[in-house]
Amino acid sequence: MSSPGVDRSRDLSQPLDRLGPDERLKADSDQLRGTISDGLVAELTAAVPGDDIKLMKFHGLYQQDDRDIRDERRRQKLEPAYRFMVRVRLPGGVLSSGQWLKLDELARAYAGETLRLTTRQTFQLHGVHKKHLRAVIQGLHDVLLDTKAACGDGPRGVMSSVSPELSALHAEVYKLAKEASDHAIPKTGAYREIWYGEERTPTDGPEEPLYGKTYMPRKFKIGFVIPPINDIDVYAQDLGFIAIANGGELEGFNVAIGGGMGRTDNAPNTYPRLATVIGFVAKDKVIATCDAVMSVQRDYGDRVDRNHARFKYTIDDKGLAFIKSEIEDRLGAAFAPARPHRFTSNGDALGWRRGEDGREHLTLFVENGRVRNFEKVALLDGLRAIAQTHRAMFRVTPNQNLTIADVAPNDRAHIEDLLRAYELDRLNQGSGLRLSSMACVALPTCGLAMAESERYLPKLIEKIETILADHGLSREPITIRMTGCPNGCARPYIGEIGLTGRGPGKYNLYLGGGFHGQRLNKMALENVGEAAILDYLGGVIARYAEERGPEEHFGDFAIRAGYVPEVRDGRAFND
Amino acid sequence: MGISEFRGPGFSEAQWDQIRSLADSLDAKQLTWLSGFFAGIEHQAKSALFGQATPVSAPASTQNRTLTVLYGSETGNSATLAGALSERLAGAGRAARVLDMAAYKTRELKDEQDLLVVTATHGEGDPPASAAGFFEFVEGRKAPKLAGLRYAVLGLGDSTYEFFCGAARRLDARLAELGAARMRERVDCDVDYDAPFADWMSAMVAELAAQDVAKRPAIVAEPRHAAANAPAFDKRNPFPATVIDNIALTGRGSSKETRHLELSLEGSGLAFRPGDALGVMPRNDPVLVERLLATLELDPEDAVTVKERWLSLRDALGEMFEITAATPRFLSHWAHVTGSDELKKLRDDNTTDSRADYLRGHHILDIVRRFPAPGVDAATFLAGLRPLQPRLYSIASSPDFAPDEAHLTVSVVRYALNNEPRDGVASSHLAARCDAGATAPVYIQANPHFRLAESDAPILMIGAGTGVAPYRAFLQEREARGVGGRSWLFFGERNFDSDFLYQTEWRDFLKSGALTRMNVAFSRDSATKTYVQHRLLEHARDVHAWLEEGAHVYVCGDGAKLAPDVHAALMTIVQKQAGRSKADAHDYLSAMQAAHRYHVDVY
Ligand code: SRM
Ligand SMILES: Cc1cc2nc3c(=O)[nH]c(=O)nc-3n(C[C@H](O)[C@H](O)[C@H](O)COP(=O)(O)OP(=O)(O)OC[C@H]3O[C@@H](n4cnc5c(N)ncnc54)[C@H](O)[C@@H]3O)c2cc1C
Ligand SMILES: Cc1cc2nc3c(=O)[nH]c(=O)nc-3n(C[C@H](O)[C@H](O)[C@H](O)COP(=O)(O)O)c2cc1C
Ligand code: SF4
C-alpha cells in the first residue's frame, strides 16, 4: 500500500512524541486498563484520577457532574457532584423485554429513575455513582449487554434502520449491524477484568489485532440504513451502508464515507460534512469493508490535533480518490458502481405498522428520548408494564423514539389496553414540528454544554407551534433539532431548522436542511436569543404558508426563498 | 468614665496616660473592682516590706500547714475559679499552690495537709477527662490513708444532667472514707456558679487565712477577674463578634444541617490557640418566646428586673433565660406554683429516672401548657428559670491562618417533641438568625487539654461530624507556620455526597502535604454501618506504628459513644499489634494520656 506524495507527518507512522498527548495516554494504558480499578475504590472522592477519566470512555463511561449545583457545592466546600453516564452498546437499538426490564431496574436503583434514549439508538443511564458502576455493568452483563466502545476512540454504537414494515430486510440488516459491532469492538481483556472481576489471562499475540496500542485517532461511527426512510441519517456516519434490495431480497450496500457533524464555533477548519457514496459492495463484504475503511482511518487519521482527527477531515485532506483507492487496496477489490437508492424522509413512521410477516409494531414519540414518570404520563412505569408481558420486543429509533416491536396480532389488544391504562396513547399527539424534533442532553449533565437543549426545546416548540397554528401548519412535519453546543449530537446541521447553543439562552439558527438528510443547513442567525429566533422564524413561516410549492418542504423553501444559500459541500458550511 | 486631667501624686506622665486610657475603657463595676484589687496588692506589698508574708495574728494551726488548691476542669471554669481562689488566699496572706488534677503527682497526696478541691463533672457524672487518672488513683486500692488531711470540695455542674456534680460527690465521699477531715460541707454549683462560689471562697479564706483584707463585695461579685492579666472580654463580658460568613456545609439531600461560620474578632484582643473553643451567647427563638408568653397569658411588655437590669419580659425571656429544656428545679417550682399533684409526684420521685425521662420528653412550654397557672405573674414564672447559658464551639481556624477571625462548624440541633419541631437554642440561632453582618456575643474558652503537639510529632486526628473543626485549625496552623510532621485524619459522618465536611479543603491539605493521610467512614452509605473506629481497626498495623513513633492521638466530636468506641478500638489495636495483655494495653494508653499524647474532647 504505497502512498507517494501523501502527507504522513501527522499520523500513526510518526513516533509517539510527535503525536498528541492522548496517543501517549492510550499507548501507556496497558490496553485501556490504566489505574481504573484503583480509582474506583479511592474513598476521598467520587471522581476517578485524571487519565482514567479518558480511559473509562473506552468502557462506555463518562465522568460528569451535576452542573446545576456545581457552584453551590463549590461554596459549600464540597467537590462537584461527580457521577457517571453509562452508555449501553445496543447495535441497531434492538432489545428484548427481558433486557428492557433489567435497564428499568438499574435505572430505578442507580440512575435517578430515568432512562435516556439516544440519537444513536441506545440507552444512557445518568448520575450513576462511582461505587455503583460495577453493579450496573454486571447487571447489564446478566442480560447480555455491555458498554464496550460506546464512547472513546473506537467504533461507536452501530446503527440500523427500524423499518417496521420491512421485516425480512430488517432482520438481515440488523444481524449485519450487530455482527459489525461485535467484530469491531476492542478485544482487550481490560473490560472483563475491571468490571466482571475476571482474572487476567495471557494472550498469544497482540490483544488488539486491528487497533494495536493506540486504537483509532477518534470516534468512528458506522450505520446501516434501509431506504426509503433515512432514519439513521446515513450521511452523518463515518461509514454508512445503504441497503440495496431487489424484490425484497438484500443484495448489498452502497457505501458512504466521511459523514460527521461536529464543529467548533469560530474555527472555520472544522465543519459538518455529509458522507460521500463511493460505490457498492455485496452483502458478504460488509465486515471486510468495515476493516478496510477503519484501517485506512486508523493509519491516515490525524493523531496530532483531535479537533481535526475525524475521518471526514482525513478524506478532505488526502483526497477522496486516494482514500477510496486505499480502501480498495485493502479490500483487494474495486467497488462496484453505486446502485440507485431513494430516501423520502429521516423521521420515524409513528403509530402502528404491520410488517410483511404480519407482526405489529408501534412507534411512540418519546420527547428528546427522555423516559421517566412525568406528571402527565407515567412513561417508565407504562413501558415496564408492557415489557412485563414479554409479548414484545423493543427498538430504539435514531430519532430518540421507541418502537414496541414484533407484537403478535392477537397480543395487540392487550398492549393497547396497557397503553391506555398508562396514557401512553397521548404520546403521538402533537404538532408535526414537535413529532419531528430532537434535542441533545446538554445541561445539567453534559460537560460541554454551553446552553440548555433537552430542557428548553419543548418550551421553544410550544411558542413556534402558536405561529404554525396561525398559518394552519400545525400538522406539517418540519424537522427541528437543537444542541447545547456546536458538537451536533442531535445532528442539528441536517435539520430543516437547526439550533446550536452558544451561551446561556443564546443560539445559532440554521435553516435549509434536507428533509431526508440529504443536505446540510446554513446559519441564518448567529448567537441570538429566543425573541430574535421567534421573530425571524415567524417571518419565514408566514411566507412558507403563503408561497410554498406543492409538497415543498420547509428546508427546500428556505433555500428557494433565498433565506440561506444551499450548502453543497461541508467545506462551504462556514462561508 | 472621666478622670482628672491633673496627674496624681508620684505618677509619671506615661503612667498617668495609661491610667487614664485604662480608666476610660472601664465601666463602674470594673473600676470598683480594680480599687479592691489594688488594695489587695498594696497589702501584699506592705506585708512583704515588713517581712511578714504571713500575718502573725494568724492561728499557727492554719499558718504552718501546706495548702493546695486542686482542680479538675474540662472547659476551664473550675480552673478559672481555682485561680481566683488562690489569688484571694494570697491576698489574704495565705500562699497556696494551684494544680490541675491532670498534672498532679498522686504520690504527693499522702503528704497534703490542707486541700481545696474544685472539680467539674462531665458525661455520666464522670470527672473531666483530664482528671480521670487522679480519680482512678484516689478511688483505687492504692489510695493512701489520709488521716492528716483537711479538705473541702466545690463541685461545678449542671442540674439538667442526671448526675449533678457527680464527680464532686464521689471525691468528697472518698476523701472522707480515706480518713480525711472535711473542713466544710461540699457546695454543688449549678451553671450560674458565681454567687455560691463567692460565698464558698469567702468562707474558705476566712477559715484558712488570718485576715482577708481583700474581702470586698466587688471582688465577691467578680471573682473571675482576680485572675492576673484577664482579657478585657470574657464569659461575663463577651465580645460582640460580627458574622463575616455563614454557609451550609452540608449539601442537598443531607439528613442534617451543618454550617460554617466565620466571625470577626477584630479589636477584641481575644487570643486563642487551635483546640480552644469559642463561647457563644445565644438568643432564644422569638417565636418560642411569643408562644410561651401567649400560653402563660403574660404581657410581653411587662417590665421586669434581672441582674440589676430593667427590661421587658419579652427581652428577658429572649436574652436572659433558658426557656426550652426544663430542669428539676423548674419542675418543683411549677409544682409549687400550680399545686399539681402529678408534678409533686414527679418532684418527690426519688427514682430520678422517671423524672429525667419526663424532663427529656417535656420542655418548659409543654409543662406550662399541660399544667396552666392562671394569673401567674412574670416574676413568679422567671423565678423557676435558669439563666441562659453560653454554648461552646470548637474553633475551626488558626489565628496564624486567619488573623482576627474565629471559624466555627455548627451542627444544627433540630428534633421533634410532642409532635412539634424543636430547635437547639444556640445552633439554630446561629443557623437562622446570624447572617453575615449580624453580631453574636462571644468569648474564648481555653482548652489546655486539646493542644496541637508543639513539636512536629505525628498527629492522629479522629473526628466525627463537627469533631473535625479543631483539626481544620490544626492543619491551618501547621501550614501557616510551615511546621512539618505527619498527620492522619479519620473522619466520620452520615453520607459521602452531602456530609463530607470541608471535603475540598482536606483535598488541598493533602496536596500541600499539611495532611499526610485521610480515611473516611460514612455510616449511612452502606447497609453495614461503618464508623471511624472501624476504619482505625482496618488500618490497625499503621495506626500502631504511628503510636509507636510517638504520634499524638486526638479524639473529638459529638456523640457519647465516640470516645469509648475509639478507646476500645485503640485498646484492641495496642493488644493485637504488639501482643500485649489487656492490662498492658490499658497502661500503654494511660501512659500516653499522662504524657499528654492522648487528647479527648467529646461533647
Ligand atoms: C446522548 C447523545 C445525544 C442525545 O441526546 O442522544 C450524545 C451525547 C454526548 N455527546 Fe455526542 N451524543 C450523541 C450523538 C452524537 C452525534 C449524532 C450521531 O452520531 O449520529 C454526533 C454527531 C456526529 C459526529 O460524530 O460528528 C455527536 C457528536 C459529538 C461530539 C463531536 C464529535 C466531533 O468529532 O466533532 C462530541 C465531542 C467530542 O467527541 O469531542 C460529543 C460528545 C458527547 C458527550 C459524551 C459529551 C462529552 O464528550 O463529555 C455527550 C454526553 C451528554 C450527556 O450528558 O449524556 N458528541 N454525538 C448521543 C449519543 C449517541 C450514542 O448513543 O452513541
Ligand atoms: C467543648 C465543646 C465543644 C463543642 N464544639 C462544638 C462544635 O464544634 N460544633 C457543634 O456543633 N457543637 C459543639 N459543641 C456542642 C454545642 O456546645 C452545643 O451543645 C450544641 O450546639 C447544642 O446546643 P443548642 O443550644 O443548639 O441546643 P440546646 O438548646 O442546648 O439543646 C440541646 C438539647 O436538646 C435536647 N435534644 C436534642 N436532641 C433531642 C431529641 N432528639 N429529642 C429530645 N431532646 C433532644 C437535649 O436535651 C440536648 O441536650 C461543643 C460542646 C462542647 C462542650
Ligand atoms: C459534655 C458535658 C457533659 C457534662 N456532664 C455533666 C454531668 O453529668 N453532671 C453535671 O453536673 N454537669 C455536667 N456538665 C456541666 C459541667 O460540669 C459544667 O459546665 C461545669 O461548669 C464545667 O466546668 P469546667 O469548665 O471546669 O469543665 C457537663 C458539661 C459538658 C460540656
Ligand atoms: S451537542 Fe454539545 S451539549 Fe449537546 S450533548 Fe453533545 S456535547 Fe453535549
Query: Measured in angstroms, how far is the CA atom of residue B374 from the centroid of ligand 3?
Result: 36
Answer yes or no: is the C-beta of B160 below 6 A from any ligand 3 atom: no
Q: Are the Cβ atoms of A81 and B248 closer than 8 angstroms?
A: no
Amino acid at B340: S
Residue of A273, A485, A491, A519 marked active site = A485
Atom 45 of ligand 2, residue of closest alpha carbon: B415
Q: Would you call A156 a catalytic residue per the annotation? A: yes
- Residue A205: closest CA among A229, A179, A187, A181: A187
Q: Would you call A440 a catalytic residue per the annotation? A: yes
Question: And the C-alpha cell for B269?
Answer: 484582643
Residue of A130, A221, A285, A481 marked active site = A221
CA-CA-CA-CA torsion sign (B144, B149, B150, B151): negative
The atom number, within ligand 1, closest to the CA of A454 reads: 5
Q: Are the Cβ atoms of B496 and A46 closer than 8 angstroms?
A: yes
Contact present, B231 and B386 (Cβ < 8 Å) = no
Dihedrals phi, psi of B520, to nearest 5 degrees: -125, 155
Per DSSP, helices labelled H in B236-392 are 286-296, 313-319, 328-338, 341-348, 352-361, 364-370, 378-382
Answer whether residue A542 shows pLDDT above 50. Answer: yes
Question: In the prediction, which pLDDT does A338 show?
Answer: 98
Question: In the prediction, which pLDDT does B58 show?
Answer: 38
Question: In the prediction, which pLDDT does B484 show?
Answer: 87
For B170-226, write each residue's pLDDT tens digit: 999 999 999 999 999 999 999 889 999 999 999 999 999 865 444 433 333 333 444
Answer whether residue A162 shows pLDDT above 60. Answer: yes
DSSP per-residue codes, A29-65: TTTTTTTHHHHHH-TT-SS--HHHHHHHHTTTEEEEE
Which of B498, B503, B518 is closest, CB to CB, to A77?
B503
C-alpha span between A184 and A89 (Å, rounded): 12
Query: What percent helix, strand, coil does chain A show, rounded to 5?
Result: 35, 20, 45
Q: Within the 225-264 window of chain B, which residues sit less than 8 Å (CB to CB) from chain A?
A: 247-252, 260
Select from A438, A487, A500 the residue to mutate for testing ligand 1; criterion: most ligand atoms less than 8 Å from CB: A487
Query: Measured in angstroms, how far is the CA atom of residue B424 from the centroid of ligand 2?
Result: 7
Assign A20 a pLDDT band (cuts: 50, 70, 90): very high
Contact present, A186 and A154 (Cβ < 8 Å) = yes
For chain B, residues with pLDDT lower than 70 are: 1-63, 210-231, 350-352
Contact present, B456 and B485 (Cβ < 8 Å) = yes
C-alpha span between A300 and A262 (Å, rounded): 19
Report CA-CA distances (Å) from A446 to A82, A133, A141, A450, B354.
Answer: 12, 18, 26, 9, 59
Question: In the prediction, which pLDDT does A244 show?
Answer: 98
Q: Would you call A446 a catalytic residue per the annotation? A: yes
Among A88-97, A256-265, B31-40, B192-201, the range scoring the smallest mean pLDDT is: B31-40
C-alpha span between B467 and B461 (Å, rounded): 10
Residue given cell 443484495 in the structure block: A251
> How distant is the Cα of B522 from the closest Cα of chain A, in angstroms?
10
C-alpha span between B200 and B204 (Å, rounded): 6
Question: In the prediction, which pLDDT does B61 show?
Answer: 53
C-alpha span between A495 and A518 (Å, rounded): 10
Question: In the prediction, which pLDDT does B220 show?
Answer: 35
- Name the CA dihedral angle for B572, B578, B582, B584, rounded to a multiple of 10 degrees: -130
Answer whether residue A48 shows pLDDT above 90. Answer: yes
C-alpha span between B451 and B464 (Å, rounded): 18
For A368-400, write each residue's pLDDT tens digit: 999 999 999 999 999 999 999 999 999 999 999
Q: Which of A76, A128, A132 is the best residue to mutate to test the B interface, defined by the most B CB atoms within 10 Å of its own CB? A: A76
Q: Are the Cβ atoms of A44 and B501 closer than 8 angstroms?
A: no
Contact present, B525 and B430 (Cβ < 8 Å) = no
Question: And the C-alpha cell for B221?
Answer: 461579685
Contact present, B501 and B468 (Cβ < 8 Å) = yes
Question: In the prediction, which pLDDT does B55 show?
Answer: 34
Q: How far apart are the first and last CA of chain A?
A: 36
Query: Which residues are within 8 A (CB) of A448 and not within 5 positions of it... i.e. 6 or more apart?
Result: A484, A485, A487
A483: part of which helix (H) or strand (E)? strand A480-483
Return the residue of A nearest to B259 by Cα: A76
Contact present, A437 and A464 (Cβ < 8 Å) = no
- Say if strands A370-371 and B97-100 run parallel, antiparallel, or are unpaired: unpaired
Q: Please tell me the number of the ligand nearest to residue A302's CA.
A: 1
CA B334 from centroid of its chain's CA atoms:
29
Question: In the prediction, which pLDDT does B60 show?
Answer: 41
Residue of A489, A491, A502, A522 marked active site = A489
Question: In the prediction, which pLDDT does B348 show?
Answer: 84
Report CA-CA distances (Å) from A315 to A217, A241, B126.
Answer: 14, 17, 82
Contact list, B247 vs chain A (CB under 8 Å): 75-76
Answer whether residue A455 shows pLDDT above 90. Answer: yes
Question: In the prediction, which pLDDT does A11 show?
Answer: 95
Answer yes or no: is the C-beta of B409 below 6 A from any ligand 2 atom: yes
Question: And the C-alpha cell for B87?
Answer: 489569688
Contact list, A79 vs chain B (CB under 8 Å): 500, 503-504, 507
pTM for the full predicted model = 0.84
How much is the average pLDDT of A551-557? 97
- Residue B320: closest CA among B381, B241, B361, B410: B381
Q: Are the Cβ atoms of B518 and A44 closer than 8 angstroms?
A: yes
What value of ipTM does the predicted structure carry?
A: 0.88
- Residue B315: closest CA among B333, B327, B303: B303
Return the residue of A nearest to B489 by Cα: A44
Residue of A54, A156, A218, A330 marked active site = A156
Question: In the prediction, which pLDDT does B191 show?
Answer: 87
